[in-house]
């Protein structure tokens, strides 16, 4: 079915002014003023007075549930499709976390494929907190090679729950990821859960100084503590990408994380954010004992965009890049996170108060008039 959205103020994320956007077959066919279209079964949405943006891209989300640090009852629930649509997220990368036994990589892949069938663009990282990595094929490199959805490998470093691999072991893993990325045409990334223990960013910089390309190293949770945040700025100024967890900041807000990084000289295109949605948010005392646990939400991307625009006067086209084009380009998914001919037909429509009105994912209208109209298989 074809869809044309007319008279929207389009941010691609570049400001294109008032334009029409034509979609069919899951792709954007044309973007321009007063498009003349004659297609069978064409649906038309009049978006006069509304703002059209790319769909949001969340590159760290526990689609099959995280948790487990507090025993069997602390396993977080799986994600439902409607949760993503309600906050304008149309592209995701699923991850596993602490639980390396009951949350298998096979289970993660199945959930990623289910969400793709239900209507969003979905990928994954293989492995979890563990080293050597947990895989489906007895090799994380082979997982990347054999599974189209697998963009790279996840690991935890500098965390009391991690496996504490030696620097040479981490470098060997990075080499496998880089070479497999070359073979498969993928970007190939090591997605790193950053813990509180210092020294990890310094290790990464030594890798770069020794000749390893820094763009394959992708740390997340980079604002969990002030010293980790400051180290992330040094890493980013060396050309690395840094990912801040929306709503989880040592600086008061993720908007503050982003703006301070830019003010310090970090390239804005090397900053991304994600939610850690459906992951556990444990609190530990000085003895390493868990004293509290909550589940991460999935709405932090939208909240941070609103914060940047409304409270920090960041221009819309600049605020949007941190969870659209930056994420897509960093993952070598050039058809994601943008409104342009040939791109995946993902889009959000907002009113002038930045209230979400419509969501289109892969060319299908998933939200109308602020109400989710397409839900997951077991949500009806």
Q: Which two tokens stand for residue 227?
A: 């010293």
Residue 281 has pLDDT above 90, yes or no: no
Residue 174 has pLDDT above 80, yes or no: yes
Rounded CA-CA distance 245/254 in Å is: 7
Rounded CA-CA distance 10/16 in Å is: 5
Greatest mean pLDDT among 94-103, 278-287, 337-346 lies in 337-346
Residue 284 has pLDDT above 90, yes or no: no
Q: Based on the residue annotation, tell me whether 15 is a catalytic residue of this protein.
A: no
What residue ranges in 180-269 does DSSP mark as E strands? 189-194, 217-220, 242-245
Summarize pLDDT for 63-97 with one digit per residue, the tens: 999 988 778 888 889 999 999 999 999 999 999 99
* 41, 154, 218, 261 from 236: Cα distances, Å: 48, 19, 10, 9
The residue whose two tokens read 């030594």 is 206
Half-sphere exposure for 224 (CA within 13 Å, toward CB): 18
The shares of helix, strand and coil residues in the chain, as percent rounded to the nearest 5, are 30, 30, 40
Q: Where residue 362 falls among pLDDT bands split at 50, 70, 90?
A: very high
Is residue 180 within a helix (H) or strand (E), and if so which, with residue range? Answer: helix 167-184
Summarize pLDDT for 117-158 with one digit per residue, the tens: 999 999 999 999 999 999 999 999 999 999 999 999 999 999
What residue ranges in the chain does DSSP mark as E strands? 3-11, 15-24, 27-32, 43-46, 51-54, 56-61, 89-94, 121-126, 150-157, 189-194, 217-220, 242-245, 271-274, 280-284, 290-295, 347-350, 356-361, 364-368, 371-372
Q: Which of 276, 303, 307, 335 is catalytic?
A: 276
Task: Measure the N-to-C terminal CA separation of the chain; round to a whole number of Å.
Answer: 23
Query: Quick one: 56-330 is in which CATH superfamily?
Result: Metal-dependent hydrolases (3.20.20.140)
Rounded CA-CA distance 299/88 in Å is: 9
What per-residue confidence (pLDDT) applies to 143?
98
Residue 291 has pLDDT above 90, yes or no: no
What per-residue confidence (pLDDT) applies to 33?
96
Residue 288 has pLDDT above 90, yes or no: no
Pick the CATH number of 3-54+338-372 from 3.40.50.740, 1.10.1740.10, 2.30.40.10, 3.30.450.20: 2.30.40.10
Summarize pLDDT for 307-342 with one digit per residue, the tens: 999 999 999 999 999 999 999 999 999 999 999 999
Rounded CA-CA distance 318/335 in Å is: 19
Length of the chain: 380
Find how far residue 64's CA is from the centre of its chain. 15
Q: What is the pTM of this model?
A: 0.95
What per-residue confidence (pLDDT) applies to 295?
79
Q: Could you state, in order of their start, the residue ranges of all structural domains in the chain?
A: 3-54+338-372, 56-330
Find how far residue 175's CA is from the centre of its chain. 23
Summarize pLDDT for 189-209 with one digit per residue, the tens: 999 999 999 999 999 999 999
At 303, give phi and psi (nearest 5°). -60, -40
Q: How many CB atoms lie within 10 A of CB 303?
A: 17
Asked if residue 309 has a cis previous peptide bond (ω within 30° of 0), the answer is no
The residue whose two tokens read 């090679």 is 145
Summarize pLDDT for 230-269 with one digit per residue, the tens: 999 999 999 999 999 998 899 999 999 999 999 999 999 9
Closest CA to 218 of 151, 285, 265, 142: 151
Supply the DSSP string of 39-61, one letter for each residue: -TT-EEEE-TT-EEEEPEEEEEE
Rounded CA-CA distance 314/33 in Å is: 26
Q: Where residue 24 falls among pLDDT bands split at 50, 70, 90?
A: very high
Residues of the chain with pLDDT > 90: what percent? 90
């Amino acid at each position: 079915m074809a869809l044309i959205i007319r008279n929207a103020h389009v941010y691609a994320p570049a400001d294109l002014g008032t334009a029409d956007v034509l979609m069919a077959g899951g792709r954007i066919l044309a973007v321009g003023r007063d498009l003349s279209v004659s297609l069978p079964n064409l649906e038309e949405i009049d978006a006069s007075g509304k703002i059209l943006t790319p769909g949001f891209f969340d590159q760290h989300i526990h689609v099959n549930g995280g948790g487990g640090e507090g025993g069997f009852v602390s396993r977080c629930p799986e994600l439902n499709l409607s949760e993503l649509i309600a906050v304008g997220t149309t592209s995701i990368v699923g991850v596993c976390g602490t639980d390396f036994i009951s949350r298998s990589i096979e289970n993660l892949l199945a959930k990623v494929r289910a969400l793709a069938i239900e209507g969003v663009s979905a990928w994954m990282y293989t492995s979890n907190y563990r080293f050597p990595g947990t895989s489906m094929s007895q090799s994380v490199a082979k997982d990347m090679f054999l599974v189209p959805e697998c963009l790279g490998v996840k690991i935890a470093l500098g965390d009391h729950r991690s496996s504490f691999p030696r620097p040479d072991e981490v470098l060997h893993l990075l080499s496998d990821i880089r070479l497999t990325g070359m073979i498969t045409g993928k970007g190939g990334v090591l997605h790193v859960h950053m813990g509180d223990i210092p020294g990890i960013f310094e290790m990464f910089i030594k890798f770069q100084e020794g000749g390893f390309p820094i763009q394959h190293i992708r740390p997340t949770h980079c604002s969990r503590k002030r010293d980790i945040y400051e180290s992330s700025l040094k890493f980013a100024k060396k050309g690395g990408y840094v990912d801040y967890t929306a709503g989880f900041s040592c600086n008061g807000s993720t908007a503050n994380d982003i703006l301070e990084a830019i003010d310090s000289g970090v390239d804005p295109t090397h900053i991304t954010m994600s939610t850690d949605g459906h992951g556990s948010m444990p609190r530990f005392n000085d003895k390493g004992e868990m004293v509290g646990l909550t589940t991460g939400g999935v709405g932090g991307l939208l909240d941070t965009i609103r914060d940047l625009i409304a409270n920090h006067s960041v221009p819309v086209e600049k605020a949007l890049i941190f969870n659209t084009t930056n994420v897509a380009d960093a993952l070598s998914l050039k058809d994601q996170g943008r409104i342009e001919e040939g791109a995946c037909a993902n889009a959000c429509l907002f009113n002038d108060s930045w209230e979400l009105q419509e969501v289109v994912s892969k060319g299908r209208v998933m939200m109308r008039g602020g109400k989710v109209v397409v839900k997951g298989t077991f949500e009806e």
